[in-house]
Chain A
């Protein structure tokens, strides 16, 4: 069960919702997206999930998020972002690489490379944090192109397609989304090594 809380940064009140225990998984969300999906509940079985709002138009969203998370006592965490909060997540990873274990970007389509902050886009190649980009197979070709462009600019970045999902992958394919996010956050680049068993009868 997620609890509603808030944190004060420079006199500004940022809401967040939290559930679970274990490794921290921070999801940077828009203010209007603080209503969570079933995927968050699934992830909270394994992780301490903190969904932190980054209101639209927040300048320097990465730094704001970093200070908020420090106040929450989160020194190291996995970081997830959806669509328009992707720049804040990437900026945070550039500013504090030691704090960010992994990055997951869900359909980072609204802030295409070359469209968003040019300074940030220019620094994408500096990101060393293991990064996973998730795109839905029902998303349009333009959005898919953006996912590929991120993958090409971030060294070692993984791109995965979630079948039969559009842009709102966590809402549309909650189990599939939670499985791959959890696996990546737990094992990072080693998540490419399958642990699934094919043993039927020992």
Chain B
């Protein structure tokens, strides 16, 4: 089992913050922000030293909860500071982006990082469509088309044009191309039928996140079926599961941590916007419709003592088939770093060495 640390940049606000998303940027404290990025580097040096294989970053906007609106900037910064860990850039939100620009920047980053890059491409969470005024009803189509452009920009040997539905380019010919050929290990992130089919058709990995093992297993099973239909079988490291983990000395202590957490997302959209978004944003798990997550807290699927968590990881491997765990060891948005530090120590000493062979 490979293990990835999901770095969210822990911004500790000096005073109480508004609770509505988008969070008023006037509440941002520049000194606290600078400290958060400095502390991130110290934390990741430790994360690397205790044996995490990857450090991952994501793209989220207009909120202090995850302070990485540009994951490519984040990844480049980390690649320059970390010596060994693979940089997992799990999320340029493709429908927001100029896909040619994404292809160029990722190829450049893979080359500068000497081939230490892993890429995840995704549609983004429901609220993100509001960031750059993207019509949420078009997000799925823009994602699929954008991902196809990125892959082709990395691999076509001669200049080419693109006559798409949502994107049009007369000439594409990216320099540099990725160091890893034909391209960095790439995941289509998401549980949807469309995402699984895209990954299978293009021989990409599949990344699922947060849901219970049984639900995520539906998606990864569908992905494997689609891979078989396209004549190949994914390796375990091509199935990635991002999850929350609460590990403590005892099961009771871990569950006490969970009980202390808020029951809903820290920054929620106004009800009128949230309800309207839900009508526009259709989601599914392997074709089974599900509601988009717009206000609820994300579930914690690994919780307990080190012994308990090791068994949960084993069960996750059996059910989901994941060969890579991308872990948030304490929910982002906490007002103190102590629980995260304790969790890292415990995970590094008592869990990580025991899940390597799972």
Contact = CB atoms under 8 A, between A and B. Distances in A.
Nearest to A136: B163
A50 B161 CA distance: 26
- The interface residues of chain B, by DSSP majority, are classed as mixed
Contacts of A151: 158
Given A137-B148, A192-B170, A159 B158 contact: yes
Interface string A169-188: 00001001101100000000
A192 B171 contact: yes
A180 B158 contact: no
A112 interface: no
A180 B159 CA distance: 16
Q: How large is the interface on A (under 10, 10 to 19, 20 to 34, 35 or more residues)?
A: 20 to 34
A164 interface: yes
A160 B162 contact: yes
Interface in A148-175: 148, 151-152, 158-164, 173
Q: How large is the interface on B (under 10, 10 to 19, 20 to 34, 35 or more residues)?
A: 10 to 19
Contact of B165 (A134, A163, A191, A196): A163
Interface string A114-153: 0000000000000000000010010000000000100110
A153 B204 CA distance: 32
A159 B159 contact: yes
A179 B170 CA distance: 12
B170 A134 contact: no
A194 interface: yes
A90 to B, nearest CB: 19
B157 interface: yes
A164 B165 contact: yes
A146 to B, nearest CB: 13
Contact of B148 (A158, A163, A179, A191): A163
Contacts of A194: 170
B164 A163 contact: yes
A160 B158 contact: no
B84 to A, nearest CB: 37
A163 B99 CA distance: 14
B284 to A, nearest CB: 20
Interface string B158-176: 1111111101101100000
A179 B163 contact: yes
Contacts of B163: 134, 160-163, 173, 176-177, 179-180
Contacts of A160: 160-163, 170
B145 to A, nearest CB: 6
B161 A161 contact: yes
B152 interface: yes
Contacts of B168: 196
Contacts of A134: 163
Contacts of B160: 159-161
A38 to B, nearest CB: 16
A37 B192 CA distance: 34
B164 A158 contact: no
A192 B163 CA distance: 12
Contacts of A159: 158-161
Nearest to B152: A161
A173 B164 CA distance: 9
A160 B168 CA distance: 10
Contacts of B161: 158-161, 180, 192
Nearest to A173: B163
A185 to B, nearest CB: 14
A163 to B, nearest CB: 4
Nearest to B149: A163
B171 A176 contact: no
Contacts of B156: 148
A137, A152, A191 pick with most chain B CB within 10 angstroms: A137
Contact of A161 (B157, B162, B171): B162
Interface string A58-92: 00000000000000000000000000000000000
20 contacts: A134-B163, A137-B152, A148-B158, A152-B158, A158-B159, A158-B171, A159-B159, A159-B160, A160-B170, A161-B162, A162-B163, A163-B145, A163-B167, A164-B164, A173-B163, A176-B163, A177-B163, A191-B170, A192-B161, A193-B170
Interface of B: 145, 148, 152, 156-165, 167-168, 170-171
Given A137-B148, A158-B161, A161-B162, 5 more contacts: A137-B152, A158-B171, A163-B165, A191-B170, A194-B170
